[in-house]
Amino acid sequence: MAESTRIRVTSQEEYEWLDSVRMKYGLTWRGMLLKAEQRLLAAERHWPAEFQTPEHLRAGTDAGDVDTGGAPLTEPDEVVG
């Protein structure tokens, strides 16, 4: 499991827009990514099968099988603007 993910936003305007959306909905940066994944997966139901995400790659599947080595499941968010 990755320790953290860095996202580079090259435009200050884009960063400010994303940050305002995040704040409006009370999400963390990780929460925004997960919410976007949910929306994409919901839209995928209408896509041809060859373009759909395999079940084993979807977040939240097989969560009971994840070995975190005793580390907490939450990770710090980091976005570089």
Per-residue pLDDT reduced to its tens digit, 15-54: 999 999 999 999 999 899 889 888 888 888 788 888 778 8
20/18 Cα distance (integer angstroms): 5
Q: Tokens 């919901």 sit at which residue?
A: 42
pLDDT number for residue 65: 46
The predicted structure's pLDDT at residue 47:
80
**Taking Cα atoms as reference points, which of 9, 12, 63, 11 lies closest to residue 34?**
63
Q: Global pTM?
A: 0.54
Compute, in degrees rounded to 10, the torsion defined by CA atoms 19, 21, 22, 24. Answer: 120
